[in-house]
Structure formats: C-alpha cells, structure tokens
Amino acid sequence: MKVSPSSASHPCTVTVFPPLQVAQTTVAQNTSAVYSCEAGYRLVGNATRLCLTKVAALDGIEPTCEFIYCPALSAISPLSVTVSDLTYLSNGSATYTCVTGYSLSGSSTRSCQADGTWSGSEPACSIVTCPALSTTNPLAVSAPAITYNSNATYYCDTGFSLSGSQSRTCQANGTWSGSPPTCGMFFLHLFGHV
C-alpha cells in the first residue's frame, strides 16, 4: 500500500475509555502517547506507544487497567482482624480487635489505599492490668500478679476474723471484682466452772 505524502505529517489520534487515561489525545508523529490509569487501578502493558511516521498510527497494543488489590491481612492472637474488601475502589477496610482481657494499642482500622498498600500499621494488644492493691493493718493482701484473670487473696492478722470475700479477680475492664473484705476482732468466750 502506498502512503500519500500528506499522511506523513498527520498526528495520531488517541481514544481511550475510563479507567484508562492518556496524557494527550493527539500525538505528533515520532512522539509517544503516554497512558495511565485512574486511582485504584494498575496499568497492564506498555505505558507508551509511538506514533509511527509512515502510517500515522500508534505502534504496539493498547494497555489495560486492572483493579489494585491490597494484600490479605492476618493477625496472631490475641489480635484479630476482619477485612471488608481488598480493593481501594470498594473502600476496602480492616478492623482490628483484641480478645477479652486485652486492650488495643494503635488504630483499630486501616484502609486499602490506591497504591495497593494498607494505611497505617498493625496495632498491638496488651493484657489488661488492674491497679495495685493496698490495705491497712490488720488486713493484708497477696496479689502476685495484677493482670487480667489474676487473683488477689486477703487475710487478717492473728486475732482477727475476715468478713467478706477472701479473693478478688482482675476483670477485663481493668477493675477488681467485688470489694475488699474487712477484719474484725475475734472474740473467745471462756466459760468458767462454778
């Protein structure tokens, strides 16, 4: 096929449909059309196509756009994660929680971003700690640990009797169960013989 001399100066016309984008819809001969994708999509194929001098047409094959997916997330107990979607375009999000007795440090949510990464960083879980317990004589307490599910044991000095529960447990909300017992005088009744 013979090309007419006038076709040598004709530019290439580029027509694309979203999500595919092109920098210029008219490209001069011997220069390149530059392709890209809308946010949330990844370009598949060559990002440039040359406008050929002799035929006023672009070389190669038009690229395409595909969804950008964020990587799947997993968590190790006591942390757990629930993911709504793995794409930016679907507003993919991840929600983190801790098992009972642990509190979350950091953001509880992350979002799938346009570049295929998750926003922020994975939070952490730390075991709930209850406040240290103190008593005054004659009441005493033994609490080897003050973390979730730990027990505190109360006792009275010799000569006193315990009134109330002898033990309390560190709860998931960071408070001790129940209330501290009290110590009362222990009375001995001695009956003499007449």
Architecture of domain 79-127: Ribbon (2.10)
CATH of 8-67, one of 1.20.20.10, 3.30.420.40, 2.10.70.10, 1.10.10.10: 2.10.70.10
- Tell whether the model's pLDDT for residue 7 goes beyond 70: no
Between CA 121 and CA 123 the distance in angstroms is 6
Fold observed for domain 139-185: Complement Module; domain 1 (2.10.70)
Q: Token match 């059309």: residue?
A: 33
pTM over the 0.85 mark: no
Burial of residue 30 (number of CB atoms within 10 Å: 0-12, 13-18, 19+):
exposed
Of 72, 76, 30, give the one whose Cα is nearest residue 49: 30
If residue 83 lies in a helix (H) or strand (E), which one and from where to where? strand 79-83
pLDDT digits (tens, 9 = 90+) for 55-110: 889 999 999 999 999 999 999 999 999 999 999 999 999 999 999 999 999 999 99
Contact at 8 Å (CB) between 154 and 180? yes
pLDDT band at 187 (very low <50, low <70, confident <90, very high): low
Mean pLDDT, residues 113-122 taken together: 94
Where do the CATH 2.10.70.10 domains begin and end in the chain?
8-67, 139-185
pLDDT digits (tens, 9 = 90+) for 15-24: 999 999 999 9
Between CA 41 and CA 36 the distance in angstroms is 9
